[in-house]
Amino acid sequence: MKPYLSVVVPIYKVEPYLAQCIESILAQTFRDLELILVDDGSPDKCPEICDTYAAKDDRIRVIHKPNGGLVSARKAGARIAQGQYITFVDSDDWIDEEMYATMKALADARGADVIITDFFYDRKGDVTRYFTVQAPGYYEGEDLEQLRQKMIYSGELYKPGIFPVVWNKWFKRELLMTNLEPIDEKISLGEDMACTYPCIIDAKSVELYQERCFYHYRWRPASMISEISPTYFKKYVWMYDYLTEILRKKGREDMVVQLMYHRLYVILMTGSLKYVGKLNDIFAGRSRKNLEFCFQNEDAKKITAGIDTSKMEITGFYRKVFKAYEQKNVWKIIWYAQVYRLQCKLGIRF
């Protein structure tokens, strides 16, 4: 008998965290699931850990494949999934035991094509709950269309109406496969956007649940960097090009306009505010180096070419930062970065 739910876990170099992830899934009070562990060519002991768990629980299936990236691993798992719904868990995260029972109850009640919950962001024990901006409830018809109108940009940078992450969602299998399979596997930034937003456009119903929160996203120190990767903007261009093409194929030019806000966010956060504001980076010359890289990078230019702030509903502060960026005014941007960091610490919204 086929399971009701398929849980796909892509795995690569997460040996210290993998057991907690797997055990949190196996501990679910909802038992009618299969767990698909996709070893994406991990060079550590993750492959052996997967096989050990599979030998203990017949609900587990393991795929061992050469490293191909997150999109490739998700596709490999989803292709063999048998459940009516498919969901994902990042292999360094974990979930509370009632998560899937709660989502199954929602599926039984209304059977939405996509079911979405909130999630916890765990930064070394400092836990923040991320709420979906839109009101909880069941959306279909005109209500669903209104939800789509704000799913990428809800009126505040960066605060999408629906967080694009795939791991706090259940997708009907057919809906997911239709939108997952075409994704270019070279995309390695914004992979979730490339999948989630096309799914919601095609969905006939969506349910947002906020009563309780179950998913724990783990922040890892390895993500802390003080310099921009040489391929950073190129990776975003790949995603923007792909998603823009898909949105236009679906007749959603309005969503292409929404995507402009995400382009602005990427430039402002990475090119202007995030990587230039720390004092030690300023004094070490890294801030100027990062900004000059942004100004000269051809892919960064492609991202800014898609931005027209005159058509955008953004605050005066962000307009000033972007103008300084267009003028390549290094010290003005660094000053704005200091203002930004201070106001974030004080909880002041822009």
pLDDT in tens, 35-76: 999 999 999 999 999 999 999 999 999 999 999 999 999 999
Most confident of 162-171, 228-237, 335-344: 162-171
Residue type, 235: K
Examine the pLDDT at 223 and tell me if it is beyond 90. Answer: no
Q: Is this structure's pTM higher than 0.85?
A: yes
Contact indicator for 224, 165 with CB cutoff of 8 Å: no
Return the pLDDT at 271. 67
What is the dihedral sign for C-alpha 57, 60, 65, 69? negative
Q: Count Cβ neighbours within 10 Å for each residue of 49-85 and write b for 16 or more, e otherwise.
A: bbeebbeeeebbbbbbeeebbbbbbbbbbbeebebbb
pLDDT for position 253: 93
Q: List, in order of start, the domains of the chain with CATH numbers.
A: 5-222 (3.90.550.10), 232-346 (no CATH)
Structural contact between residues 129 and 120, judged by C-beta atoms closer than 8 angstroms: yes
Q: For all residues of the chain together, what is the average pLDDT?
A: 91
